[in-house]
């Protein structure tokens, strides 16, 4: 959305820019969880540490909040309520927050006011409000007294370090019970059949997957392109047999076809391995208009797909249940990517509005992304003069 800014009550508009709304996973992570793969971030009563650049917040004190996301059921209708961000204000700091689980979709659970040194360590504690229904969340750092002006955010992650006491006391039993409930719901709804009937077929090997940039992209939660996170994404970290995953660019009826490959470039099927290619019932891209449960980019998929994955495959013993209801779309019907051909005089218009004619011959890169974001795209073209049926050049 283009915006203009005036500093003289509208006499002139000297400043212009673009306002963009992007998914959580596409925003820079200004708050870093130290050693995110460690046990400390998966279980309570252990010290955890975060870091941030203190120069980004021009205050001596900052507030650190842990927020959890959920899609609670409306007690009157029995249906999921609309996603909202809501704070429950309490005067006490360094304490677990209280909230009404049927009236909010995201809540502050833990808050700390600390000096703005760029690093903070605290010992996590179990929060009775955090269950498998809202165990996906994010950490926020803000100025302590002007919290609406600026915020720094962490990555979206599993909140095992503040999960409730039942989870902490008997992780396996709690997770197996939650997995059993999940499996019964999904089978009753016929989710496995729905996914197999609607998902895009996976490429049969890694070479095909890397070449098919028009239909598949690197999975934001597990891909070999992401050198920054160093395989600490929430799915990839537990998939020892997998080197790369791709996901469909265009969701199929709101689902994501996810395809993962081993070091021999073979497609790893969900039915064969706990490191398999688990489809997503809810696409990480979200579904317009994004303001309903099950349609919020990345967050809704976290509740529908990532949380059950943890309950069934990481903490529980029933990964076969998850494998059954998050199947891999077979590659038998996959069609290889083919070059496209375009005829005509090569007129171009760039994104900044420049128009020109380009009559050179040879191979060129027409478009290439330059940012360090997870969206990587390159469009290449080969230009030749047109030949007639006798092999002679056709004059313009």
Q: Give tens-digit pLDDT for 42-61.
A: 999 999 999 999 999 989 99
The pLDDT of residue 30 is 94
The pLDDT of residue 316 is 95
Other beta carbons within 10 angstroms of residue 54's beta carbon come to 16
List, for residues 261-271, the tens digit of each pLDDT value: 998 999 999 99
The more confident residue out of 18 and 261 is 261
Residue 292 — pLDDT band, cuts 50, 70, 90? confident
Q: How far apart are CA 300 and CA 304, in angstroms?
A: 6
Task: Please list, residue by residue across 63-87, b when 16 or more beta carbons sit within 10 angstroms of its beta carbon and e when fewer do.
Answer: bbbbbbbbbbeeeeeeebbebeeee
Question: In angstroms, what CA-CA distances link 139 with 78, 124, 134, 357, 396?
Answer: 30, 13, 14, 50, 61
Q: How far apart are CA 276 and CA 164, in angstroms?
A: 29
The pLDDT of residue 366 is 84
Other beta carbons within 10 angstroms of residue 9's beta carbon come to 5
Which tokens go with 319? 């990964």
Using a pLDDT cut of 70, give the percent of the chain over it: 83
Average pLDDT on 250-257 reads 86
The pLDDT of residue 129 is 83
Residue 226 — pLDDT band, cuts 50, 70, 90? low
The more confident residue out of 173 and 37 is 173
Residue 84 — pLDDT band, cuts 50, 70, 90? low
The pLDDT of residue 185 is 93
User: Which stretches within the chain are classed as H helix?
Assistant: 165-169, 171-188, 191-198, 206-211, 299-301, 307-309, 319-325
List, for residues 95-152, the tens digit of each pLDDT value: 433 333 333 344 555 677 899 999 999 999 888 888 898 888 889 999 987 766 789 9
- The residue ranges of every structural domain in the chain are 27-166, 170-333, 340-396
The pLDDT of residue 87 is 45
DSSP string, 62-103: EEEEEEEE--PBPTTTSSBPPP-B-----S--SSBPP--TTT
Model confidence, pTM:
0.77
The pLDDT of residue 104 is 38
- The answer to whether residues 235 and 221 touch, using CB atoms and an 8 Å cutoff, is yes
Which tokens go with 90? 């309490």
Average pLDDT on 306-328 reads 94
The pLDDT of residue 81 is 67
Q: How far apart are CA 264 and CA 226, in angstroms?
A: 20
Least confident of 210-219, 226-235, 247-256, 310-319: 226-235
The pLDDT of residue 40 is 95
Q: How does strand 2-5 pair with strand 244-248?
A: unpaired
Residue 75 — pLDDT band, cuts 50, 70, 90? low
The pLDDT of residue 107 is 52
Using a pLDDT cut of 90, give the percent of the chain over it: 41
The pLDDT of residue 188 is 93
Name 372's Cβ contacts closer than 8 Å, sequence gap at least 6.
Answer: 228
Cis peptide before 110 (omega within 30 of 0): no
pLDDT at 388 over 80: no
């Amino acid at each position: 959305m283009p915006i203009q800014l005036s500093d003289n009550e509208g006499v002139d508009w000297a400043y212009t820019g673009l306002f963009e709304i992007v998914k959580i996973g596409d925003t820079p992570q200004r708050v870093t969880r130290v050693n995110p793969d460690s046990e400390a971030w998966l279980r309570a009563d252990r010290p955890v540490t975060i870091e941030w650049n203190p120069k980004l917040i021009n205050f001596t004190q900052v507030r650190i909040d842990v927020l959890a996301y959920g899609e609670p059921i409306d007690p009157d209708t029995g249906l999921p309520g609309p996603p909202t961000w809501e704070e429950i204000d309490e005067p006490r700091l360094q304490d677990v927050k209280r909230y009404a689980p049927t009236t909010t979709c995201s809540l502050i659970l833990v808050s700390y006011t600390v000096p703005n040194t760029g690093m903070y360590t605290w010992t996590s504690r179990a929060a009775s409000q955090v269950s498998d229904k809202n165990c996906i969340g994010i950490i926020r750092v803000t100025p302590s007294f002007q919290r609406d002006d600026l915020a720094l955010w962490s990555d979206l992650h599993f909140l095992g370090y503040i999960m409730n006491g039942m989870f902490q006391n008997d992780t396996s039993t709690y997770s197996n019970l939650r997995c059993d409930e999940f499996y019964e719901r999904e089978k009753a709804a016929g989710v496995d059949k729905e996914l197999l009937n609607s998902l895009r077929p996976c490429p049969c090997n890694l070479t095909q997957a890397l070449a098919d940039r028009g239909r598949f992209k690197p999975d934001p939660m597990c891909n070999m392109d992401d050198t920054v996170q160093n395989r600490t994404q929430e799915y990839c970290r537990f998939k020892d047999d997998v080197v790369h995953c791709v996901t469909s660019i265009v969701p199929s009826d709101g689902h994501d076809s996810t395809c993962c490959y081993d070091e021999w470039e073979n497609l790893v099927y969900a039915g064969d391995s706990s490191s398999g290619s688990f489809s997503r019932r809810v696409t990480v891209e979200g579904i317009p208009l994004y303001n309903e449960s099950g349609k919020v980019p990345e967050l809704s998929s976290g509740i529908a797909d990532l949380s059950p994955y943890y309950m069934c495959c990481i903490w529980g013993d029933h990964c076969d249940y998850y494998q059954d209801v998050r199947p891999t779309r077979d590659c038998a019907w996959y069609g290889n990517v083919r070059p496209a051909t375009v005829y005509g005089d090569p007129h171009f218009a760039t994104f900044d509005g420049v128009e020109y004619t380009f009559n050179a011959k040879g191979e060129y890169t027409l478009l290439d992304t330059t940012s360090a974001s997870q969206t990587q795209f390159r469009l290449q073209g080969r230009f030749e003069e047109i030949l007639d049926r006798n092999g002679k050049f056709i004059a313009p």
